[in-house]
A and B are shown apart, each in its own frame.
Chain A
Amino acid sequence: MTQDRNIDSLLEERLRELENGIAIDQILASLSLDQADLASLIRVAANTRLLEQPKQDPAHSREQKRKIIEYASSKGYRSSYRTKIFWVLGPASLVLFTLLFLFSILGGLLLFTNPTSGRYATFQEIKGIVEVASSKDESNWIPVTNGDHAREGAFIRTRMDSSVVIKFPDGSQTLVEPESMLSISYLRKDWLGYTKIYLNQYMGSTHNNVKNLIGESIYFEIVTPEGKATVHGTQFQVEVDQSGVSHFSVDRGILQVFGANGGKVLLTAGEATEVKASKVPEPPAYQFMIQGKINRISGNNWTVANVPFTTELELSHEKPFSTGDLVVVRGRILTDKRWIADKVKYGRNEKEKLRFTGVVDSISNDHWVIGGTNVKINNQSENDLNIASGDSVEVNFIVLSDGSWLAKGITRLEEKEESKLPLSTTPANTLQVPIIPTKEIEGRRTPTPLASSTSSHESSYTPTLGYTPSGETTGCELGDNIQPEGLRLADRYEVSYEEIMGWFCKGYGFGEVDLAYELSLKSKKPVEQIFQLRASGLGWGDIKKMFEAKVTPTPAKHKDKTKPTKHLKK
């Protein structure tokens, strides 16, 4: 019996050496003659350890994971934890409660006296014109600058070619893309230190980087007219289309999307869904993005950058896209492998970009199958190490001359590092290469200043800092190419496209041009005067105040408790 135990222990020692990476030959060589019988047992163990083991079917495990997460969600966040805390504390709970109560009063006092205590968001990385107001329909939108604060109740909008990063007290950030509008409906830290952020997004796009929950608790929610998204720590995008569709997609983490009229889906990294007015959310689907020239349009079947897809959008009525146009297409890959475009818009530069997300079905030396799609691999492909079948990945690829796809890089989505928000897709005053819509410019007009020039405003103000538009806006030299923003502004203010582009090429962003013409229209002052003031160093907020004070003789506005103008602080 004792001898058996000794042999058992000796065998275990050798097996541990095996686990610790010692070569089997070395282990076997160290056995004495009377231990020779152990050699074959060690070999059996070693062979078993090295064996390629069966793996769960990727599609099944993905579905299983989704169900388990849904089940965990349905049980309610923190409920069990709170129960546990309550019972663990036992008799001491009363004392603790009293202490917490006192701390909460102290915390409350700090909360109200310290602007960084959790009730303020800060504007950063402003490009172009970003404004705040106390209501969506407020006529008095006030331009903000970097470092300004906003708190709950504030409405925020970006003009054409403009963007802003809103930084919340817990470190979460929202990048607001051009021509977007949202409001902060709730922004508070509770007495346990958990930050709750609720936003309403009315139009446009946001990229949201919600601070990871691990080690710190926050709660983030975005409501759109068609649905809402709630998260605890993730990176995701929301796009609200004026046609009554909200689009949600996830880069990292998990997102719960609810339809305004019921229904819920859970999105994991790489997935997207759409919610149409009065409908439940579409089932989660992987995504694709194509930037390139249109090769072919045949009814609903399109080919862009040699990638075919279908679209059910009624694009022909609103946007007359044609072959050769440079476009950006975003869409979903349905379970039947069909690529469906959800959004097509004019592109910003001619660089072809092709990518899609999906689950790795199989891996071999020269090609991978991802979401049912064959992708070639070569030594130039930059793929994450340790990707295995069943992982969700993002594939950047090119189309080869024979029509096959070659991966430039494959990244495992769940392992994507918590990244900074992307740069705005339309940086102010910068056009890498103008787009080439085929639409003809209609109704070009001669530049017409809106009113005669007066100098009544300037006398009372002495600017301390000069503003010099760079005048280096790339793309201006390529006269054959038309900017859609320029066209839209020309139409909106009934001036020529060339006049708009004249300001743009002096270095003003389209958002600034938009604001200048709007002020000119309201104040009946020439637009040149407004640009002159800006060039003299006056900020857009001051210019707007100056003009509106003169033009609109102090209209009595209703008092709003959450008026953001009062929250603006530097």
Chain B
Amino acid sequence: MPDTVSVDLILEAQKGNPDAVGALYESYHQRVYQYLYYRTADPKLAEDLTGDVFLRMVEKLSRFQGDDRALFAWLLQIARNLTIDHYRRKNILQFVKSDESQCSIEDPPDEITEKHLNCQVLHNALSTLTDDQRDVIVMRFVVGMPLSEVAKTLRRSEDAIKGLQRRGLIALREKLIVLRGVL
């Protein structure tokens, strides 16, 4: 997992030190956002929910115990719960295909070949997976969590996560072949 933060920094943030809270935000916000991006298919909503995740973190941080990995797992748990709450409140389809993508901004359309995987393609392929499979794939390969942390975040056994991982990758492979001929 990239970028680690020290336990001292977490302790300072727990005391309410604004500097430390800001540093935690800097360390984690992009990966939280990426998880939410693939979870919601809506960049704007993903941004709003990212903010909510960190506000919730500030509220509950004093009760947190653990190191940087545990903290990130906890943040993704909050993100996941907030997403579920959001869609429950809205009572809308959780995962919709989106034309609005930030993934291809740097790739002019003529450079996207049929065999070129971009995050729009990934995004659409992920939409066909079950929620659990998608969570595992995004946490493992987009935000870079170790399998043990994914298990803790999703409150499942490591064996269960391994199974979800393999089935998720199989489903993703099939969909990518259909969508773009990737692989």
Contacts and interface: CB of A to CB of B under 8 A. Distances in A.
A68 B13 CA distance: 12
Contact of B16 (A41, A64, A75, A266): A75
A41 B166 contact: yes
Nearest to B11: A81
Contacts of B50: 56, 61, 64
A214 interface: yes
Contacts, number: 171
Contact of B119 (A11, A45, A52): A52
A72 interface: yes
B162 interface: yes
Nearest to B138: A48
A319 interface: no
A71 B159 CA distance: 40
Contacts of B43: 54
Contacts of A12: 147, 162, 165
B14 interface: yes
Given A4-B163, A214-B12, A41 B58 contact: no
Interface stretch (B17-25, B66-74, B77-85, B88-96): B17-25
B163 A79 contact: no
A44 interface: yes
A487 interface: no
Contacts of B86: none
B162 A72 contact: no
B102 A51 contact: no
A56 B29 contact: yes
Contacts of A67: 51, 55
Nearest to B32: A56
Interface of B is mostly: helix
Interface residues of A, number: 57
Contacts of A268: 22
A14 B167 CA distance: 16
A344 interface: no
Contacts of B119: 51-54
B19 A45 contact: no
A253 interface: yes
Nearest to B175: A44
Contacts of A60: 47
A213 interface: yes
Given A214-B8, A233-B19, A71 B169 contact: no
A80 interface: yes
B21 A40 contact: no
A7 interface: yes
Given A40-B173, A54-B103, A65 B12 contact: no
Contacts of A381: none
Which interface residue of B6, B19, B118 has the most chain A CB atoms within 10 A? B19
Given A5-B163, A72-B22, A81-B15, 17 more contacts: A8-B162, A9-B162, A12-B147, A44-B183, A45-B141, A48-B122, A48-B137, A52-B106, A53-B142, A54-B43, A61-B30, A67-B55, A68-B25, A71-B55, A72-B17, A77-B18, A214-B8
24 contacts: A4-B166, A8-B165, A15-B140, A19-B146, A40-B183, A47-B183, A48-B172, A56-B29, A67-B55, A68-B55, A69-B22, A71-B55, A71-B58, A72-B18, A72-B21, A73-B18, A75-B58, A80-B15, A80-B16, A80-B62, A233-B19, A234-B19, A253-B19, A268-B22
Interface of B: 6, 8-9, 12-22, 25-26, 29-30, 33-34, 37, 43, 46-47, 50-51, 54-55, 58-59, 61-62, 101-103, 106, 117-119, 122, 137, 140-142, 144, 146-147, 159, 162-163, 165-166, 169-170, 172-173, 176, 182-183
> Which 7 pairs from chain A and chain B are nearest by CB?
A80-B62, A8-B162, A81-B15, A54-B102, A72-B21, A48-B141, A41-B169
